[in-house]
Amino acid sequence: MRYLMMTTDDASAAGGPPDEAMMAEMGAFIEEMTRAGVLLATGGLEPGGKRITSSGGKVTVTDGPFSEAKEQVVGFALVEVRDEAEAIEVSRRFWAIVGDGRGTIQRVFGPGDDFPG
């Protein structure tokens, strides 16, 4: 089954840039997880982004920043695991490298999670 892991940021912590040792450790972790077939896709997100609103058949694009946004998703990882416990374990390893922070993991439903078809 697949889970989407997201790291969120409410701008309360003045997080400096990650140091080199942490980046190296994270790089090794990402490589290991990719090779194990656990990590399917990952990336960091630009702050803010654009807001898309669809209303009455009309799509409106609004530029950020959005002052009312309390929490923003700043990074994501899509993982393939055997069960929720494994997703939590992968998450635990991620946070052991990153340190303080918060995020969510949510099961992803879609074609292909009903093995066998």
Residue closer to other proteins, measured from CB, 51 or 93: 93
Q: Which stretch binds other proteins (CB under 8 A): 10-18, 43-51, 76-84, 99-107?
A: 76-84
Interface with other proteins, residue 88, by CB under 8 A? yes
Q: Which stretch binds other proteins (CB under 8 A): 43-51, 55-63, 81-89, 99-107?
A: 81-89
The beta-carbon contacts of 72-75 under 8 Å, at least 24 apart in sequence, are 72/8, 72/9, 72/10, 72/11, 72/45, 72/47, 72/48, 73/6, 73/7, 73/8, 73/45, 74/7, 74/8, 74/9, 74/44, 74/45, 74/47, 75/6, 75/7, 75/42, 75/43, 75/44, 75/45
Q: Which residues bind other proteins (CB under 8 A)?
A: 28, 35-38, 40-41, 80, 82-83, 85-86, 88-90, 96, 110-112, 114-117
